[in-house]
Amino acid sequence: NAGVTQTPKFRILKIGQSMTLQCTQDMNHNYMYWYRQDPGMGLKLIYYSVGAGITDKGEVPNGYNVSRSTTEDFPLRLELAAPSQTSVYFCASRLGTNYGYTFGSGTRLTVV
């Protein structure tokens, strides 16, 4: 099992550009999450999904969009990138609410 796989690992964007951060898991987990981690600030939830076709906003959703067409994939879309979106992005999944989260290895995004 590969676990949770995120691509790309690094990316530099110019202000106003768009991109999609990919996340896929092969553990048949229903719950998937996107977090961003800023230095010294812990992790903040951007969006989450409790199953294919169901998504909802987290704490900091502005500037992002998600979709969940399959159980495996949960891409995060950035439209009109801004410097405030410079961060490390983590995708995570869990089997159910009584289980710990499995995190991907992260995507370091810089917007210049």
The residues binding another protein (CB under 8 A) are 4, 31, 33, 40-45, 48, 50, 56, 58, 90, 94, 96-97, 99-106
- Rounded to a whole number of angstroms, the minimum distance from the CB of residue 80 to another protein is 25
Which amino acid appears at position 103 of this protein?
F
- For residue 86, the one-letter residue type is T
Of residues 4 and 21, the one with the C-beta less far from another protein: 4
- Three-class DSSP category at 70: coil
- What sign does the CA torsion over 97, 101, 107, 111 have? positive
Q: Judged by CB, which is closer to another protein: 19, or 50?
A: 50
Please give the span between the terminal C-alpha atoms of the chain, in angstroms, as a whole number. 36
- Min dist. Cβ of residue 58 to another protein (A): 6
Shortest separation between residue 16's beta carbon and another protein, angstroms: 29
Q: Give the H or E element holding residue 10.
A: strand 10-13
